Structures are given as structure tokens and as C-alpha cells.
Amino acid sequence: MTNPNNSLKQPGAFSSFEWKIAFRYFKSKKKEGFISIISFFSLVGIMLGVATLIIVLAVMNGFRSELLDKILGINGHITIQAYDQGIDNYSDLRKELEKIDNVYSVIPTIYSQVMVSSGDQTSGAIIKAISYDDIPNVPKIDNNLIIDEYRSKDGLLIGTGMSRNLLLGIGEQLTLISPKGSQTPFGTTPRIKSYEISGIFNIGMSEYDSNFVYMPLDEAQKYFSKKASVNTIEVFLDDPEQISPVITSIRSLIGNTYYLSSWKEQNKTFFTALEVERDLMFIIVSLIVLVAGLNIVSSLIMLVKDKNSDIAILRTVGASKNSIIRIFFITGSAIGVIGTTLGVVIGIIFCTDIYAERKTLGALLVPQVLEVVGKDFSNSVFSYVPNTAESAYYGFMEQLRLVRRAEVQQQLIDAKNKGELTDELINELVMDNWPKGEKIANKDIKLRTFISQESGRNQLVSHVYDITYGVVREHDDALVCIDDSIVRGTTLKESILQILGRSKPRKLLIASTAPQIRYPDCYGIDMSELGKFIAFQAAVSLIKERGYDGLLDDVAVKCREALKESKPSLVNHVKRVYENFKVSEISDRVAELVKPKCLDGVTDVKIVFQGIENLHEALPDHPGDWYFTGDYPTPGGYRVVHKAFLNFYEDKEGRSY
């Protein structure tokens, strides 16, 4: 008879016994293959869902931060405004405000709307008058002055947009027209006065560069008859997010004498829209993770049913119901934890580097582009093919402006050393030949999502893009568009080049941030069929034109032999297709192949590709370059490229894997 005192002791919660059984179930067995497949895809779903969630939220937050930096870099975080006459005691009030914690600087200003004119050009503008001693406290202005003389003489500061629109340069006169003029027996006469331009800034937002005029505070007080008062005081904070305590302190200081508003209130509609969009994206992507989680539940249910006999044995040997529940809980949790961890790692890797890397890829294109269009920026328009090339375009434009700034700086230094520095030369250098960026192409992203099948692809791509008219001067301007990559050239030939060609530029240059894609991969509908790659087609065209008889036949023989090898060697025989030609020769032939007939005799089309060395410089931690070099990391890659070539050679369609 069994003695109850000698029975096995029940294991504790989450004991090593439960973990051991759980991980035995976690491992795949042949008879549980279907369940394991579901578990695997559940893990992958959670991993991709979490990674996507992190990347999407990072992009949204980055977009918000970028806009916030530009908006708050010029405007105060807290604004104190007079209800009617003005703020007379602004000097004393400024001293008190500067004592409050988290306050970086306090700037008395005069805000007003005026008309501005120069010659035959007239437009509206916003006057922002501050003491020029306070400009260093507005870094977005102080750090973005292209050229200035405001430190040596008073005058107006205008943006590059207004400078270009009104054809104004340093030392020239800008006329201000205010409707709030003097009272006469015949009514109110406008107040009109001209001022010299002493500085030009470039913030990077057209709203500010085209509409804002900075004016010395004492001169604005005379012009607007404010005597010794201002109508606004702007308060800048060290931490704009911690604004509530500062508002409370200011409110206790000024009471209800003046109107008080914060940057959150002034931009409430805009930032609320961003918050709503971010929350919706969070919910949508979270549903992906939820679906993957439900797959885990379904796989566990099937696993429990499959393990009925195991459960019975465990119960017989003394395992409790709770212990068995914990075993299956550990199995399901392991899938979730591993998937989440991998997703977090992937998301962080992408978010850390991808934006900077794309901008670097764009910047590294500048020398190649300048070789084609030269440095005649005044007769060139720079744009991008939406939407994936946008980040690279920003890096490209930044580098292009740096090139121009260095050129202007050197010319100013040379002229100064020779004693030839004149106002005319300064105006010429500041006003002329600066890179002009425009968004000329527009993309219907909703329609683009339908291009998932080979059938109907050409018809669909012809409707995806549209153009902004009036940006390019016909037959005078060169048009440069940054593209992310060029695989088959279908979209270029059937849509983009035809649409961009409607603007009739004298030269149309497409600059790819990726090198020539020469070799296939198992990714997407674009990447599997070698014979459809535009770089490969260009190389084959050159082979036939230059009479390299038998080369393609030799490559086919080598590919067949390689596929028969029981132990394949890591040799890419398809490289021989390209070895007789320079990159530039293939690029020129690509341009000939994708150029639509409608542009013959109208526009010169050129295409440049990123260099392999530049790719490695921009992405030093990402060695995967087999799309471009053909150096695959595994034997399977070489089998794919050899099979892809034979499919082309034998005129077969379909994927090579």
C-alpha cells in the first residue's frame, strides 16, 4: 500500500520541470510540422509588426520634431501681446521674465503686416521688428544668414524667397507700405518708406523665406508710431515641452493685463492633426501585431489537442492543472517574446540609420550630377521622383548648397584680397546661381499600391504620376530628378520621363541613388527576372552592337555547368556580360533605351547611377551589395543568378528560384 507521505512533491510555479516540457513542445517535430509552421509565421508576424510599429512611430515623431524645430526656431514659445495700445514697460517686464526658471531669452518685438515693393514687384509681408542685439538669441536666423551687413549697419533682413521674388540684393532698397498712416482732412494716407537690405537668410521653409522681414526695433517704433512701446514679447524656453509651469509663473506676474498664448495654442490645429495621424497609424499597425497574436492562440489550441495523450501522462505522474496551463503559457509566450525582441532590434536598427543613410546617398550624387549639368544653377531645377527618393533629395540639396556657398565664399575672399569687392559683386554672388529646388512630380500613392501583378503593370504606371506646370522654363532650364533606384526602367519610360518631358527642359537628368542593379534576387516582382533588368538589357545591347560574338553562348555554357555541380563554386559567370564596358557606357545606353520617342529631338535625356564606392561609404555597416556587384553571400545566390541567365538565354519567363 502506498504511503501518502512518500508521494512526489509538487513542483513550484514556473519550475525547471515546466520550462523543460514547454521548450520540448516549442521545438518542431515531424508530426507537428503544421503547428510549427503556424507558430513560425506567428513569430515572423509579431517581429515584422513590432518593427513596423517602431519605424512608423519614429518617422512620425521625427517629422513632428523637424517641423517643431523650424517653427519654434523663429517664433517664441510663449507670446505676450497687448490688447490695444502696446506694452510700454517692456524693458522692466523683460527683466522679470528672464528670472523665471526654464526661460532661455525674452525678446520684445513689433509684429505687423505691410506691403513690400521693389520696382514693378509687389507682395505682402510680415514685419517682425527686434533689436539686432537679440538676433543671436534666434539661432534659426543668426545661423542661416547667407550674407549680411546688419552688424555694421542697420537695415532689413529678408529671406531668400523674397529676395528672389522681388529681385533684391544686399544694399538695395525695399519699400514698405502700411495702410495705418497719418490722418488728413482727406482720410488716412498710407505710410511709405524705403529701407536698405542688410542681410538675407535661408530658413528652409518658404513661408518664412518668402514672407518675413526683420527690421530694427527702434526703426520700427518710428515707422509704426509706437514711440517707446512694442506690441508683442516673445519668450523662448530651454525646454518647450515643459511650458505649463512657465505660463503659470507669467500669468501670476502680468495678470490679465496682456493676452498670453503658447506655441501649442498657436499651432493647435496643425499639431493635433499630426497627433491624430500618429495615433491612427499606431492603431492600424497594432492590429497587425494582434493578428499575429491570434495566430499564436490558434497554434496553441491545436498543440493542446495534439498533446492530449501527453497531458494525460503528466496528470498521471502528478502534474496539476495549473502546471499544465503554465507549460503551454510558456510555449506561447516564448513565441511572443522572441518575435517582439527581434522586432524591436530590427526597428531600432532601421530608425537609427536609415534617414541619415538616405541623405548621405543623395549628397554623394552631387559630383556626378554637376559633371552632367555643370554649375549653372540659375538655369537648372532640382527635384525628386516621389516618394521614396525624398530623403535622399534633402541630402542632395544640402550638399549642393554647401558647394555653392563654398564657391561664393572663395570668390568673396579672392575679390577682397584683390581689392575688387563691390556691392555689385556681392549682389551678383548672393542673388544669382543658387540651386533651385521644386516639387515637380506628384504621385498617386493609392493607385501605385495596385501594381502588384505583371499583367497590366505598364498601363497602371502611366497613370501614377503627374507634374507641376510652370516650374521649368521651356528649353532654357535643365531638370534634375533624384530617383531611389532603377530596376527595369518601365516606370521611367512609360510614365516619369514622358510626364517630366511635358515641361520641355533642355536637358532631363535622372540620378539614381542606387548603383546599377545588375543581378537578381528573391525580392519583389521587380528583382527576379534578369532579362528584364534595364542595366542587363543595356549590356546585351552593347555586346551585340560591338560584335562580341559568342560571349552570351559561353556564359550560358558556364551557367549550365555550374548548376550541375554537386558542390557549387562561388563564381558568378554572369559578370562576364558587363566586364567589357564602363559604368558610364551602360548608363548612356540605359538612357537611350528608356527615352520615350516623344522626347526625340526635344529633350536630351541622361541617367547617372550611384557608385559602388559611394554606396559603401553611405552604408558602411551593410555589406549586402550583391544586387550591384554579383558577389552573393551563399551558394544559393549563385544558383539563382545562373538560372536567371539561362531563363533569359532560353527565352523563358518566370522566376529563377
C-alpha closest to that of 395 among 482, 485, 509? 482
Q: Phi, psi at residue 469, to the nearest 5°? A: -85, 155
pLDDT number for residue 296:
75
Q: What is the CA radius of gyration of the chain?
A: 33
Q: With beta carbons less than 8 A apart as the criterion, state whether 242 and 155 touch.
A: no
Q: Give Cα separations from 285 to 62, 352, 399, 520 (angstroms).
A: 18, 20, 35, 31
Q: Give me the half-sphere count of Cα atoms (radius 13 Å) on the Cβ side of residue 355.
A: 14
Q: Please tell me the predicted confidence (pLDDT) of residue 612.
A: 93
pLDDT at residue 24 above 80?
no
Per-range mean pLDDT, top range of 5-19, 219-233, 571-585: 571-585
HSE (CB half, 13 Å, CA atoms) of 396?
A: 31
In this predicted structure, the answer to whether residue 174 has a pLDDT above a threshold of 80 is yes
Residue 446 has pLDDT above 80, yes or no: no
Contacts of 557 (CB under 8 A, 6+ apart): none
**Angle at CA of residue 234, ends 229 and 237, nearest 5°:** 150
Strand locations in 445-567, DSSP E?
A: 465-467, 478-483, 507-512
In order, the DSSP letters of 83-96 are: SSS-BTTHHHHHHH
Task: Using the CB atoms, write b or e for 545-569: b if 16+ within 10 Å.
Answer: eeeeeebbeebbebbeebeeeeeee
β-pair partners for 87: 230
pLDDT at 517: 92
In this predicted structure, what is the pLDDT of residue 16? 75
Q: How confident is the model at residue 400 (pLDDT cuts 50, 70, 90)?
A: very high
pLDDT digits (tens, 9 = 90+) for 337-368: 888 888 888 887 777 677 788 889 999 999 99
Higher pLDDT, 74 or 234: 234
Write down the pLDDT at residue 57: 77
Range among 138-142, 390-394, 530-534, 585-589 rated most confident: 585-589
Task: Using a pLDDT cut of 70, give the percent of the chain over it.
Answer: 84
Taking 3-state DSSP, the helix, strand and coil percentages for the chain, each rounded to the nearest 5, stand at 55, 15, 30
- The residues, any chain, with a CB within 8 Å of residue 206's CB and separated by 6 or more, are 161
Mean pLDDT of 419-431: 80
Report the alpha-carbon angle 628-545-521, nearest 5.
20
Percentage of the residues of the chain whose pLDDT score is greater than 90 = 18
Average pLDDT, integer, range 499-504? 87
SS3 109: strand
Coil/strand/helix, residue 60: helix
Is the pLDDT score of 507 beyond 90? yes
Q: Inform me whether the pLDDT recorded for 153 exceeds 70.
A: no
d(CA 199, CA 156): 7
Element (H, E) at 260: strand 259-262
Higher pLDDT pick, 505 / 288:
505
Greatest mean pLDDT range, 26-35, 61-70, 203-212, 448-457: 203-212
CB 435 within 8 A of CB 478: no
Q: What is the DSSP letter of 240?
A: T
At 225 the pLDDT is 82
| More confident site: 12 or 224 | 224
**Would you state the pLDDT for residue 13?**
66
pTM exceeds 0.75, yes or no: no
Please tell me what DSSP assigns to residue 494. I
Question: Would you tell me the crossing angle of helices 366-373 and 390-418 to the nearest 10 degrees?
Answer: 70
Phi-psi map region of 186: left, alpha, beta (phi>0 left; psi -120 to 50 alpha):
alpha
CA distance 40 to 440: 45
Q: What residues have CB less than 8 Å from 4, skipping those under 6 apart?
A: none
Task: Yes or no: say if 116 and 166 are a contact pair by the CB < 8 Å rule.
Answer: yes
Among 136-150, 384-398, 537-551, the range scoring the smallest mean pLDDT is 136-150
**Per-residue pLDDT tens over the stretch 274-288:** 778 778 877 877 787
Give residue 148's pLDDT band: very low, low, confident or very high (50, 70, 90): low
Q: What is the pLDDT of residue 310?
A: 78
Task: With beta carbons less than 8 A apart as the criterion, state whether 157 and 148 touch.
Answer: yes
CA–CA distance, 19 with 326 (Å, rounded to integer): 9
pLDDT at position 583, please? 94
Cβ proximity of 513 and 483 under 8 Å? yes
pLDDT tier for residue 10 given thresholds of 50, 70 and 90: low
Q: Which residues contact 367 (CB under 8 A, 6 or more apart)?
A: none
The mean predicted confidence, pLDDT, of the chain is 81
Q: Who's near 150: CB < 8 A, 6+ residues apart?
A: 132, 135, 157, 198, 199
State yes or no: pLDDT of 465 exceeds 60. no
According to the per-residue pLDDT averaged within each range, which of 68-72, 333-337, 393-397 is highest?
393-397
Give me the torsion for CA of 486, 490, 491, 494, rounded to 10°. 140
Nearest to 587 by CA among 645, 496, 515, 530: 515
In the three-class reduction of DSSP (H, G, I as helix; E, B as strand; rest coil), residue 367 is classed as helix
Mean pLDDT of 20-45: 66
Give me the pLDDT at residue 366, please.
Answer: 94
For residue 462, pLDDT beyond 70: no
The answer to whether 388 and 486 are in contact (CB under 8 A) is no
Rounded distance between C-alpha atoms, residue 250 and residue 96, angstroms: 9
HSE toward the beta carbon, residue 157, CA cutoff 13 A: 29
- Give residue 463's pLDDT: 46
225: Cβ–Cβ under 8 A, 6 or more apart, which residues? none
Q: Which residue has the cell 510555449?
A: 331
Q: What is the Cα–Cα distance from 638 to 647, expressed in whole angstroms?
A: 14
- Give start and end residues of each alpha helix (H) in 28-145: 33-72, 90-97, 139-142
Q: Record the cell numbers describing residue 651, joined without a space.
A: 527565352
